[in-house]
A and B are shown apart, each in its own frame.
Chain A
Amino acid sequence: MIADPFAWVYAQLTRLLLSLGMTAVWAQTTLRFVGAAVLATVLLVSTFFLIWGERKLLARFQDRLGPNRVGPWGVFQTVADFVKLIGKEIIIPTHADKVVYLLAPLLVVLSVVGIWAVIPMAPGVVGTDLEVGVLYIVAIGAIGTLGIMMAGWSSNNKYALIGAFRSVAQLVSYEVPMVLVLLVPVILASSMSLVGIVDAQAGMWFIVMAPVAALVFLVTSIAENGRAPFDLLEAESEIVAGFNIEYSALAFGMFFVAEFLHSFTIGAVVATLFLGGWRGPGAEAYPLLGFVYFLLKTLAIWFLIVWIRATLPRVRIDQMLGFNWKFLTPVALGILMLTALVDKMSAAAGWNRALVLILANAAAVTVILLSVRAYARFQRRTDQAKGLPAAVEARPAAAH
């Protein structure tokens, strides 16, 4: 029981349902639904503390105190905010498309919570070990895009519509490099199932073998989340609040929860794909320990995302698109081909796989940096030739 509490709970519940006179198939189906409900509820409740944690961290980054009134260290601030949100009226604008308007926030939350269905949280603890888990993550993200479109259109507000258009420009185009680098761990593990990918990292984490892919995946995930520095979907200073401008009370709260939970979810996905998921010393014997490792890795990535948000200013919309199409997409394509080629070659020649891949990645980084520098020089020279002042235009590529 102590060794594997998850399996113990499952066995107990199955016995209970069977004793109530259910057939085995129905008991299993019921437990699936119960498990999904428990997982979703725990995630949504944990968002209370994620929001508090993020606000507290942001405050520290900005030399402030942050929430500190409700509960010890302000831990229950979000609960108070939530109670306030429940008490408010959900305002539906005139001429808004009522059903679509109310459905949109639900879809956005669903797209985030749904990702957790395939993430292995401890040995043997996974919603469902889908054979195509990696593709599933992409598919469920598409539903979030749909939700944002629906929100922007149904609000009958031009700012909301502009926000929705931006969301399509951003979310759909950042999906391209994201899907490409998602294939790198798939190649390394030769499996699309997330359980298979975690199992393949028993010897070595994939971040060691594919650091460039991990970094590109993190950046594109932040863009998919619509978070600073890619928060153009709801840029307050440009389009007031973007796609969610008309939403109030709990309907707005849903978008809010989805965004904050999404950053934590990105942490979980990155931890699973590149940091070995629940793997760690002693995790196989004690699943609870594996869960702790998984949580620590997820929180580390989550902290990184909050750190980035606190540090970087918002990019312009043309920079956002240029960075994606002119930098991330070629890099993702190149690193995908390089990984496939080098992995195949090292397997054929019997080289040390990790070492060869690290060297290949180092070479790729050098080439990327050199070409970015060459591009910057070329740009500067053309600007001078045209008699323009030294370009202030930031070259987003230089940041990486």
Chain B
Amino acid sequence: MEPLKLIFLLAGAVTLLSALMVVTTRKLVHAALWLVLTLAGVSVLFVLLNAAFLAIVQVVIYIGAIAILIIFAVMLTRGSMDDTGPQTNRRWWLAGLIAVGLFAGILLLVVSEPAASAGVPAEAPGDSLRQLGLALVSVDGYVLPFELASVLLLAALIGAIFVARPPDAASEGGEE
């Protein structure tokens, strides 16, 4: 067996198991920590696919920012540490159905794609990072979605400042 295949199987198993734990564990903070492990597993899969940039961005954004914010929010919410309510509601089968349908759809798409059976994509020729950067700002590439995303983020930033601003602008106090 190839070592890469072994690592792939291990990472895949860890990702799936921890994803299962995210939705079944009772403590919210634990769910968030399992989510971190799931995301880390996905980033290992990215590394195995020769997509180092995506792997690192996965860690920076999803673990470094989003997961930490989730944990922070959970910690600040009183009484959310121990959830004792039922874990499912009456429509759990509907969610299950949608999930299975989605999975089947993705599977169908992947199997019908000829590139999927080719295995690990070859090391990108030259500087793949440079190509990605150029594609993001070139007019033939993705400049419009890129700029739209920037404007969206800027709007969110301004909105956050507006919401966080104390009603009396003059009383610029400390943190507490």
Contact = CB atoms under 8 A, between A and B. Distances in A.
Interface of A: 25-26, 29, 97, 100, 130-132, 135-136, 138-143, 145-146, 149-150, 153, 161, 164-165, 168-169, 172, 175, 192, 317-318, 321
A386 to B, nearest CB: 11
- Top 10 closest A-B pairs, CB basis? A142-B64, A318-B174, A139-B59, A29-B3, A135-B56, A139-B60, A132-B56, A139-B56, A132-B53, A136-B56
Contact of B68 (A132, A172, A192, A321): A172
Contacts, number: 75
Nearest to B174: A318
Interface string B66-92: 011001100100000000000000000
Interface of B: 2-3, 29-30, 33, 36, 52-53, 56-57, 59-60, 63-65, 67-68, 71-72, 75, 127-129, 174-175
A149 B52 contact: no
Given A25-B2, A138-B64, A139-B56, A318 B175 contact: yes
A246 B127 CA distance: 48
Contacts of A318: 174-175
Contact of A153 (B29, B59, B63): B29
B29 A143 contact: no
16 contacts: A29-B3, A97-B29, A130-B52, A135-B57, A136-B56, A138-B60, A139-B56, A139-B63, A142-B59, A142-B60, A142-B68, A149-B71, A149-B72, A169-B175, A317-B174, A317-B175
Dominant SS among interface residues on chain B: helix
Contact of B75 (A25, A97, A153, A321): A153
Contacts of B65: 142, 172
Given A142-B63, A321-B175, A168 B52 contact: no
A136 B174 CA distance: 33
Contacts of A132: 52-53, 56, 129
B75 A161 contact: yes
